Amino acid sequence: MLGLAAGFLPRFLPPAESRNARLIYAYEAPSHGGDAVFLPASRAAHAFLARKNRYDITACKHIAAGDLRLLSLFPVEASEGCIGTDLLSDAFFFLSLHEEWSVPERDAFGRLPVEASLLGAAGILDRPVVAEYAAFLRKVAGVETRAERRFSGRCWAVCLTHDIDYMTKFTPGFAKREALDRFILDTCEKPLRDRTRRFARYAKGFLTRRDPPAVCLARIIETESRFGTRGTYFFKAGATDKRDERYSLNCRAVRKAFETLRAGRHEIGLHTSYRCPDEPGLIQRERDLLADAFGETPRSMRGHYLRFRYPDSWSAAVALGFDIDSTLGFAGREGFRNGCCHPFLPYDLESENVLPIWEVPLHAMDGTFRDYLHLSAGESMERIDTLARVVERFGGVLTLLFHNLVYDEDEYPGWGSLFERWADPSGRHAFTGTLHETLGEWLGSLGVRSIEEVQKTILDGELT
């Protein structure tokens, strides 16, 4: 995975051919000469990674590596021309999601809390540490790649994704919230004039049958079509918990959306219901319902509430033929949850196997800024821009999530303009496409003809 992020498809050589290697990863430096770069391995690191033990954050440190400052989890004794850390074990810790396996803390929704993660606790979620490792690896390996051509002549990519959580606000729950909670009880502490105007807009929408989620969805699709941008839309096909809003995939608004999305060559994915991580068998039923309604079987997925259970969620997705997941992100904080700004194949520490499904991590979503951080659209844009500059520097993929209420000024004031800024690719030297298109461009830059080809290369070789 580090090789892919660095810009080359690795080929693993047997020990007898080690003299021909460009990189040697071993416990001791090879006795023979040659031009190979030696990457030291740590027995202590390998022993730790095989156990379900929590990493002690006080043990990590930063080391200088040229113009990079690398996070070292497993230091080794440095020598001339040798980096002082087990770089591959450092990367493996994040790529295998070791802390999802070893850290017991979970929030009220069964998710790993930001503060329980190593990067969150260290306050460096804004750093794609795995991409930093890859940049160092590329430099020492002397790999000549044209980073600016990895995405159809562009140096980085943006994936616009949309979770379709609601298709109506005219339900008893929403009506109670608008009429009782916000208008009468003033739970949002707004002036009477503002509350009256908001409730009047809600009532007018009900009377004219202009449902905000449906109206917003149509407008999002129209906006992306106007700018020549294609996005990935995750639709729900089941409701298994009170935190799921039920809607029909055969309702008029959804059918119209399907027709427009198909014509515009957008991607349709499955937004699994709340209880799917606890009951993986539900995923097949929901996949089949979406396939029947849309006419094609979805190949990408994302969990509702960004709920994810390691490694069961990935294993269930693999068994059902999904080849992309984009759940991996923190709901409470934007950034690089496992230090990645590139797609990667996960590793299952339980079965000790690479899983043949691509994870395209999620880096920022509208709900994080509105509901958790309580930031305005303008403040949120500044933080997304900061992430974008980092992803551009490392030639990665920035994955953004805009729900289908982004144009609802009562719910997301100012966010419609923010979304349009990212939907418009002009002035930004970034490829903007669906998850599958972006993954295909990234792999194609290495001469790979298909997603399956690189999967086979990695699965047939050693993991690191």
For the stretch 329-379, pLDDT in tens is 999 999 999 999 999 999 999 999 889 899 999 999 999 999 999 999 999
Q: Which residue has the higher pLDDT, 137 or 340?
A: 340
pLDDT band with cut points at 50, 70 and 90 for residue 15:
low
Residue 463 has pLDDT above 60, yes or no: no
Least confident range of 61-65, 146-150, 223-227: 146-150
What is the average pLDDT across 142-150?
A: 63
Residue 18 has pLDDT above 70, yes or no: no
Residue 147 has pLDDT above 60, yes or no: no
Parallel, antiparallel or unpaired: strands 156-164 and 232-235? parallel
Q: Tell me, what's the pLDDT at 426?
A: 87
What is the average pLDDT across 13-24?
A: 72
What is the average pLDDT across 239-251?
A: 93
User: Would you say 338 and 328 are in contact if contact means Cβ atoms under 8 Å apart?
Assistant: yes
- Spatial distance between the Cα atoms of 421 and 218, rounded to a whole number of angstroms: 17
Most confident of 229-238, 439-448, 451-460: 229-238
What is the average pLDDT across 173-180?
A: 82
Least confident range of 4-18, 164-178, 384-398: 4-18
Residue 464 has pLDDT above 90, yes or no: no
Q: Tell me, what's the pLDDT at 22?
A: 77
- Spatial distance between the Cα atoms of 367 and 382, rounded to a whole number of angstroms: 15
What is the average pLDDT across 383-412?
A: 95
Residue 16 has pLDDT above 70, yes or no: no
- Which H or E run contains 39? strand 37-40
| Structural domains of the chain, ranges and CATH numbers in brackets | 2-148 (no CATH), 156-460 (3.20.20.370)
Q: Where are the alpha helices (DSSP H) in 159-264?
A: 172-176, 192-208, 212-226, 252-263
- Spatial distance between the Cα atoms of 49 and 347, rounded to a whole number of angstroms: 12
Q: Tell me, what's the pLDDT at 459?
A: 62
The residue among 201, 156, 143, 138 whose CA lies nearest residue 174 is 201
- Spatial distance between the Cα atoms of 426 and 423, rounded to a whole number of angstroms: 9
Residue 461 has pLDDT above 60, yes or no: no
What is the average pLDDT across 248-259?
A: 95
